[in-house]
Amino acid sequence: MSYLPAAPPPPPRRALLRGALGLGTAAALTACGGGSTTPRTSGDVTLGLWTHDPGYEAFFDKGIPEADRAGDFRYHLKVTRAGAPDVVTKLLAQAVAGRGTPDLVGFEIGSFPRMLRGDIAERLLHDFTPDIEAVPGLKEDLLPARTAPFSRDGRVYAFDSDTPMVVYFHRQDLFEKYGLAPSMATWEEFAEAGARVHRDHEASMCVVSTVGSDPGQVVQSFQMLLYQRGGAFFDADGTLVLDSPEAEEVLRFLCRGLRSGFVVEVSDYYGAGMQTALKRGRVIGLPMAIWYKNYGLVTNVPEQKGTWRVRALPRFAKGGGVTAALGGTGFGVVEGKANTRAATEFLFRTWLTHEGQVRRFTETGYLPTRRSVYEDPRLGAYQDEFCGGQRLFGLYRALLPDVPPFHQSPDQSILYDVLGGNLLRAYHGDLSPRQALKQTAADFRDQAGR
């Protein structure tokens, strides 16, 4: 894929409208970085890269020769690693200070909404929209479901690391042992069979996280099935749309599952409690994003290699799709710096090329964000040994049309806090599903002021 700069670089900006907005941090942003802002157009360039994940650092480092061959720059990276929330906090602090900002920065999806406050994203991040349109066919090839979380008002500010489809992981050996029919197609059939399996074998076929100190995990258990069913937290305008018949149906389904044992509570998806449940066969299946294989199953139960399988989520009898999406990390470029053009070209020549997206899957396990890459024969031939040698890309191609967009709101953290608490009250029987959703909407309006 060739990269064609869509427009001349923006004029130097040593100061950005101090105090023009009166919106806290947005108003205090003064500059995108220290040093010269005369745009570099060729030669040696050292990009400041901030990320929370060493896997991304390794990917970009290996991509340097490819980027060097494709353009006029000779790239070097200076990497700073920090926790996902800290990356955004530090970026905003350095932007206010007017120096020390990175050139290329990875936003974990749950942290990105802070960039949507006021016009922070517009002023601090490079708008990739014209760059995308300048590359023939790219706009049509990028999956809208994965540009949505990092977009605002139709402008794209970061490119996602993954198409993190939610699938159903299950122990093939125990499903066969307990007589669970492969033909079960709906969640309702799973729940009926799951109640029997729990009664006879003390095993569960679905999981919810109930660790109160991590609202994100509590919310995610509900979020996956809500989006599969056709519900959402926010619409494209950032308006709360949580309180819906689909949300009530999903919450009622999970509450009933907890009573029957089809669903089991775990403190979190990664800790000792989950590891024990997996090792003892107390959890024999769960819906989760595809990356959970590497970060949850392989790390907790490596000895169960070959016994796990992946399939599409069962459908809800009343409607919805067969997958959702959970997680992601968007990489953006800081605007108005000497290296803005170089960083943009680097991202296009590593992160977005066909070969780059194939390499990203083989090295990190993250699925392509370009539709055409799913047809690559190397990915089609890939066999997953942890999942018994399954060739999974046929499944991924089939699920692709059902991946729903995930729209974010600047007030998303407020929703997660109030929703997490009310989900726990519903799980424990202190509120009905209807009451929990109405209370969440009321709490959100009260705290967000809208």
pLDDT(116) > 90: yes
Are 31 and 16 in contact by the 8 Å Cβ rule? The answer is yes
CA proximity to 144, closest of 405, 329, 381: 405
Q: Does residue 119 sit in helix, strand or coil?
A: coil
Residues 189-243 have pLDDT tens digits of: 999 999 999 999 999 999 999 875 678 899 999 999 999 999 999 999 999 999 9
Q: For 100, left (φ over 0), alpha (ψ -120 to 50), or beta?
A: left
pLDDT(2) > 50: no
d(CA 288, CA 294): 12
Residue 21, token pair as written in the block: 């907005």
Q: Does residue 201 sit in helix, strand or coil?
A: helix
Are 405 and 148 in contact by the 8 Å Cβ rule? The answer is yes
How many C-beta atoms surround the C-beta of residue 388 within 10 A? Answer: 15
Give the CB-side neighbour count of residue 275, counting CA atoms within 13 A.
10
Residue 128, token pair as written in the block: 């990739």
pTM above 0.75, yes or no: yes
Give the DSSP H or E segment for 92: helix 84-97
Cβ neighbours of residue 185 under 8 Å, at least 6 residues apart?
Answer: 314, 315
Residues 362-375 have pLDDT tens digits of: 988 899 999 999 99
- DSSP letters, 328-375, are -EEEEEBTTSTTHHHHHHHHHHHTSSHHHHHHHHHHH-PPPSBGGGGG
Are 164 and 328 in contact by the 8 Å Cβ rule? The answer is yes
Residue bearing the bigger pLDDT, 449 or 263: 263
User: Tell me, what amino acid is at 102?
Assistant: P
- Of 29-33, 69-73, 395-399, 440-444, the one with minimum mean pLDDT is 29-33
**Is residue 315 exposed (0-12), middle (13-18) or buried (19+ Cβ within 10 Å)?**
middle
Residues 32-47 have a mean pLDDT of 80
Residues 15-29 have a mean pLDDT of 44
- Of 33-47, 72-86, 154-168, 314-328, the one with minimum mean pLDDT is 33-47
d(CA 26, CA 210): 35
Are 287 and 313 in contact by the 8 Å Cβ rule? The answer is yes
Are 258 and 194 in contact by the 8 Å Cβ rule? The answer is no
Q: Which residue ranges form the domains of the chain, and what is each CATH number? A: 43-163+327-375 (3.40.190.10), 165-325+404-448 (3.40.190.10)
Enumerate helices (H) and strands (E) in the chain, giving the number of each. Answer: 20, 12
Residues 125-156 have pLDDT tens digits of: 999 999 999 999 999 999 999 999 999 999 99
Residues linked to residue 51 through DSSP beta bridges, in sequence order:
81
CA proximity to 48, closest of 434, 342, 420: 342
Residue bearing the bigger pLDDT, 8 or 50: 50
Are 36 and 338 in contact by the 8 Å Cβ rule? The answer is yes
Residue 17 pLDDT: 33
Give the CB-side neighbour count of residue 117, counting CA atoms within 13 A.
19
Do strands 159-160 and 329-333 pair parallel, antiparallel, or not at all (unpaired)?
antiparallel
Share of the chain above pLDDT 90, in %: 86
Residue 216 pLDDT: 87
- The separation between CA 295 and the C-alpha centre of its own chain, rounded to angstroms, equals 14
d(CA 380, CA 390): 11
d(CA 316, CA 230): 10
